[in-house]
Copies of this chain bind each other. A is one copy, B any other.
Amino acid sequence: MERVTMADVAEAAGVSVATVSYVLSGKRPVRPDTRAAVEAAIRELGFTPNTTARSLRTGRSSLVGLVVPDLANPFYAQFAAALQERLRDLGLHVVVCNTRADRSEELAFVREAAQQQFAGVVITPFRLTAKDLELLERAGVPVVVSADIRLGQVDRVAPEARSAMRAALQAVTDAGRRRIAMIAGPRDATGGDPRLELLRELARQFGTELPHGLVVRGEHTRAAGAEGFGELMSRRHPPDAVFCANDVIAVGAMDRAEELDVRIPGDVALVGYDDAVFASLVRPRLTTIRYPAQAAGEAAARLLRERIDGRTVPRTVRVKAEFVARESV
């Protein structure tokens, strides 16, 4: 079979070759009916652009990798949707890579993105180091880090959570709670746990503190939340307020509280982080610190676009978190 060309598609659709090219690349807007005609012709003729040629020419795939530690955390679904929305007009497509917080999987995706010459990578690293990310830099793939932590000289989207965390502490102490605990992330996570550091610092300002025995650590999973909560409740002096590194952990804490017949917030106040979609579904509804996924995804897209447009100096964009009072404090 002879290879179908762009010219064949253009002829079948009754448009110019340039228009076919715009539909394929997404580089310029094309009227919906024109686009439909071109797409119909592409399907009908079975046209497949010659990508090896294209890739040799432009040296770039149209894929942007969003590398996340936990696809089951709905925060990332919203983040991904916002990122895709803001990159669509460049003809870029977001694919989500789930590392399950496993360093070797993080490395595998970073390497793959470098090899395949992705158009960009947005990553929430969990166990990667700044050094690992240099692999992308050397391959000329723009990187945006979405995390609380610093990680080398790269673009970054990070929460500004100080005032939200302060409001959470205010609510907890207003409710008469004094023995504050945290179920934090794992000790070996990249950059430690900035949410724990922030809570520790602010707690002091409230004239209280996080006793050493009231900080437990685990993965960002529901199972780890259950385990952490159980551990805290087994202390000789258990806490009367528990902060969690994210909402998934908080839901695990609620599971265990129910098993142990610990009332929330009657016996223990509970504060999450993220405001994931299920935070308002659980009972009691989860009081949490809302890190807006949509705004964070949009900021990541903005940083990536600026890189693609040629900016070379790294930038950090802060996205404001806010305290959401529901029923668990």
Contacts and interface: CB of A to CB of B under 8 A. Distances in A.
A46 B135 contact: yes
Interface in A134-157: 134-135, 138-139
Interface string A57-72: 0000111010000011
Interface stretch (A8-16, A106-114, A185-193): A106-114
B63 A77 contact: no
Contacts of A324: none
B283 A112 contact: no
Contacts of A28: none
A42 to B, nearest CB: 8
A78 interface: yes
Contacts of A104: 35, 39
A interface, over-half SS: helix
A49 interface: yes
A51 interface: yes
Contact of A98 (B35, B65, B72, B81): B81
A54 B84 CA distance: 29
A143 to B, nearest CB: 14
Nearest to A100: B81
Interface string A268-308: 00000000011001110000000000000000000000000
Contacts of A72: 74, 77-78, 81, 277
Contact of A56 (B49, B52, B278): B52
B112 A43 contact: no
Nearest to A112: B93
Interface in A109-123: 109, 111-112, 114-117
**Which one of A48, A49, A114, A134 has the highest number of Cβ atoms from chain B below 10 Å of its Cβ?**
A48
Given A71-B80, A74-B74, 7 more contacts: A39-B104, A43-B134, A52-B52, A72-B78, A96-B96, A96-B98, A282-B282
